[in-house]
Structure 1
Amino acid sequence: MRKLAFTVLGSLVLAACSQGEPETQSIQWPTLRGEAPLVIAHRGASGERPEHTLAAYELAIEQGADVIEPDLVVTADGVLVARHDAYLSTTTDVSARPEFADRQRELFGRNDWWVFDFTLAELRTLRAVQPMDNRPDDHDGIYDIPTFEEILELVETRQEACACVIALEPEVKHPAEFAAIGLDPLPLLNAILLEHDLYAEDAPIVIQSFDPGFLIRMNAVAPIRLAMLYSGPDEPGYDMDGYPLDAVAQFASALGANKALLFDEDGNDSGLVGEAHALGLDVHVWTVRDDREPVVGESVEDELRALYALGVDGVFADFPATALAVRADMAQGMTGE
């Protein structure tokens, strides 16, 4: 059932959102089911707007991304909000707010401000900033921190406007740590998905995490498709904290792999995509960035072409417009036009 549901996601998204691009018609891609690889807007169009803001997600949707990706953390009063990290100093202006100076404390070897020490109302007073070096900061200080429900409302509004499907791939951050302090994200997430009619295997959503324990817990109680994130082993074998690929396939539909794992030291296919596909796992890779060195080739376009040629089923991109343009160009070449 999970594998069928993933097929539904790809088919619905590409049929509804690609507006007749050639890759959505009759081209056979080297993906698990021959469909075009999904372009997943990593933290929204985070290369051009401060990450995890409604503006970043909206820009990604405008550019034509198939999927948007919010990272989810939990506030002190039990609200799911979008931040990549549990600490706040790199993505907000909290360090410039004297009223919160006493909230700074050392945890996990880091002296910072922590999302679980703030209520939603307090977080609303902060403004997002660009955390990545060498990216424009002209949108700093404009946008606030959105809740997961606000992201879903944005998606619903845009879907009504375009009569299309906009999928989501949220990542639940640090679920064990949040649960240990009484802020378990699992029931919060399930309640929101149920309220927004996303509590189903064929809903256009995939929940991802680096924590296999969380995914196993969710798999036991929720009819939701899941993706196991994986940064890589020190040695070959793809043993994800004691969960080899065949074990992951028992509770997840996809492997969210570090793109570097897909190539050997000579830039050739490492075999990971083939191994995952043989187990029925989609492969969504992270993260392609226009302004960072590619793992293969001389440019981000080279890197994207290599990833698409390997048969990845989805690509997380900070600049989704670039990933979409390369996909369209490859599709045109595959049609012989």
Structure 2
Amino acid sequence: MRQIFLGIGILVGLAACTPAAEGPQPHVWTTLDGQPPLVIAHRGASGDRPEHTLEAFRLAISQGADVIEPDLVMTADGVLVVRHDHYLSTTTNIADLPEYADRRRTQGDREDWWVEDFTLAEIRALRARQPWPQRDASYNDQFLIPTFEEVLDLAAEHNVRTEPEVKAPGHFTAIGLDPLPVLVEILRARGLDTADAPTAIQCFEPDFLARLNGEVETRLLMLVFPMIELDTEADPLTPTVSLEDAATFADGVGPSKALLISADGDDTGFVTRAHALGLAVHPWTFRDDVPVSEDMDIDAELQRIYALGVDGVFTDFPATAVQVRDAMSDG
């Protein structure tokens, strides 16, 4: 098994032989390495800026995020660009550009514009938009769609980690745009193909991660969600890939938070089982503006998840996750 995903920073030292009554004691983290959990900026500070823009990533870094997370899709000319979906209507202004009106087509059950039909030069003509209706739209149509390498440049400049997710690699491979060799080339060129590199690659498709595991030593994160979303007869706490299977090729798991706490609010034991297999746990996604329930705000939700011993959290609002974590660290 390769080196486990390590957090950044140093472990708070134990108080020097003084009575506990003299002040609060440092929080003892039950993460895999005993470090405070990582705050992972999900698509950047996507709650405050259009997602997957350099501006969203810069804001996340300024808010104290330890890791920035770009999703990767492929252009027609084989360039990895940063978008969550490979359709473009929800996060860009493409519908307003008459020169691309005839490029809209149906794929599956969706009619849209698709990134694989556009070259990088054409993608550069687009501008990003905020897809969430309740969020600030005042930055719409201002920011470019970045390439993966531009996000890596930004991360290196600010000395933060990255956790890129390869989206729908099976689809892209099927149409002749296999992202794996391009990804491997970029990782190797930047010295990010080692177990101690400041990055980890995520994906929902185990076959892709297993292939990647044979090419590089970069840490891998298997993304999972409840199998019941695919099979209504499944146990709601069964993940799409078992922890035992994930441990054969990955260094960590990125579970839906629904797998960590039961409907009754109890710890499911997912984190403990993952840690026993040497897997780091980075659950998703924590959002200030999407409350879990009327009885639990985002601070309470993060406190509950941190207390389980997770090794990182994906969040659209890094400032909040940093604030809650730091308050717990201070006791």
- TM-score of the aligned structures, taking structure 2 as reference length: 0.92
- After superposition, where does 1:185-196 map in structure 2 within 5 Å? 185-196=179-190
- After superposition, where does 1:1-337 map in structure 2 within 5 Å? 1-2=1-2, 4-7=3-6, 10=7, 13-15=8-10, 24-25=12-13, 27-159=27-159, 166-234=160-228, 235-236=234-235, 240-241=239-240, 243-294=241-292, 297-333=295-331
Partner secondary structure for residue 106 of structure 1: strand
* Count of paired positions: 314
Q: What is the CA-CA distance between 1:158 and the residue it aligns to?
A: 2.1
> What's the counterpart of residue 21 of structure 2?
none
Partner secondary structure for residue 29 of structure 1: coil
CA RMSD in angstroms comes to 1.5
Runs of 4+ in 1 over 6 A off after TM superposition: none
Q: What is the CA-CA distance between 1:5 and the residue it aligns to?
A: 4.4
Q: What is the CA-CA distance between 1:264 and the residue it aligns to?
A: 1.1
| Amino acid corresponding to residue 90 of structure 2 in structure 1 | T
Change (3 A) 1:265 1:44: same
Q: Distance in 1 between matches of 2:318 and 2:29?
A: 19
Percent identity of the aligned residues? 54
Residue deviations 1:132-171 (CA, integer Å, cap 9, x gap): 1200001000001000011111112223xxxxxx111000
**Ranges in structure 2 where 5+ consecutive residues have no aligned partner:** 15-26, 229-233
The answer to whether the Cα contact below 8 Å between 2:4 and 2:279 also exists between their aligned partners in 1 is no
The answer to whether the Cα contact below 8 Å between 1:276 and 1:283 also exists between their aligned partners in 2 is yes
The answer to whether the Cα contact below 8 Å between 1:296 and 1:306 also exists between their aligned partners in 2 is no
Q: What is the CA-CA distance between 1:24 and the residue it aligns to?
A: 4.8
The answer to whether the Cα contact below 8 Å between 2:237 and 2:259 also exists between their aligned partners in 1 is no
The answer to whether the Cα contact below 8 Å between 2:4 and 2:252 also exists between their aligned partners in 1 is no
Change (3 A) 1:237 1:288: closer
Q: Distance in 2 between matches of 1:265 and 1:40?
A: 25
Q: Distance in 1 between matches of 2:93 and 2:12?
A: 42
Q: Distance in 2 between matches of 1:283 and 1:321?
A: 20
